[in-house]
Amino acid sequence: MTTGNLHSALYGLVGYPLGHSFSRAFFNDKFAREGIDAEYRNFELPSIEDFPKLIAEHPNLRGLNVTIPYKQAVIPYLDELSDEARAIGAVNVIKISHSSDASRPYLKGYNSDIIGFTDSIRPLLQSHHKRALVLGTGGASKAICHGLDDLGIEWHYVTRHRPITVPEHSITVPKCSPEGPFTYSDITPALLADYTVIINCTPLGMFPHIDAAPTIPYAALSPRHLLYDLVYNPEITMFMRQGRRFGATVKNGLEMLHRQALASWNFWNEQDL
């Protein structure tokens, strides 16, 4: 049931489930602090097929964030993609524009993950950080790989099974690894000597399953390694804890989340051309 002032701008998060999300508190705090007449809600959709109904039932919607499992599945419902979203093959921001002479709103998809990731990892990079292992092949990992390209870092997917099926709208298997992705059994101490950046794009270690972590030979890590975990709850994941144990630099995904949230607000409020 719709609540609140219908004339206030409405924003929200689409995904399933949404118990782990921080976006609602982040944006509603921002609106209260800055005197913005708007509200941010969570919209749990058991199926992406419910997306058109969500748009139709909330005419004051101005923007949405998109999280798992719909970053790719939402694309067919959009009218336009930004160049970055098209290249990445995943959307986590939707701008909803309304026009008096249009029968329905116009939906444009963006990806702010790449902005949040590159801005937050760049200060940690050193000259020996030339190659990265990207753990996981979901929508978030595609933005991470695009960001690594922008940072000039070679990257290689790591997946549980070989081969992987590259979905429609996806980027291709990395150009630095023509033989295809690694599996976890391929990650040896010798491999880790060359790949000194490791990025966890899986949900392993996310609350409440805080004792889980990707299966890699942590004892082969050193102070030359940088471990970046997209998970931010808990603050120190098992992946990070194991990396820190062997001297690696570690960082969670909270700053990335803050930066991509601010980028979302900029996308929602950019002037239409």
Catalytic residues, which ones? 71
Cβ proximity of 112 and 95 under 8 Å: no
Give me the count of residues in the chain: 273
- For residue 189, give both structure tokens: 């101490």
CA-CA distances (angstroms) from residue 108 to 85, 150, 257? 10, 23, 21
Helix (H) or strand (E) holding 71: none
CA atoms within 13 A on the CB side of 24: 12
Rounded CA-CA distance 258/63 in Å is 17
Q: What is the DSSP string of 153-195?
A: -EEEEEESSSSPP--TTPPPSPTT-TT-PEEGGG--HHHHHH-
Report which of 246, 244, 250 is spatially closest to residue 231, judged by C-alpha positions: 250
Residue given tokens 């748009």 in the structure block: 55
Nearest-CA neighbor of 90 among 170, 158, 201?
Answer: 170
Q: What is the largest CA-CA distance in the chain?
A: 63
Q: Name the 3-class secondary structure at 207.
A: coil
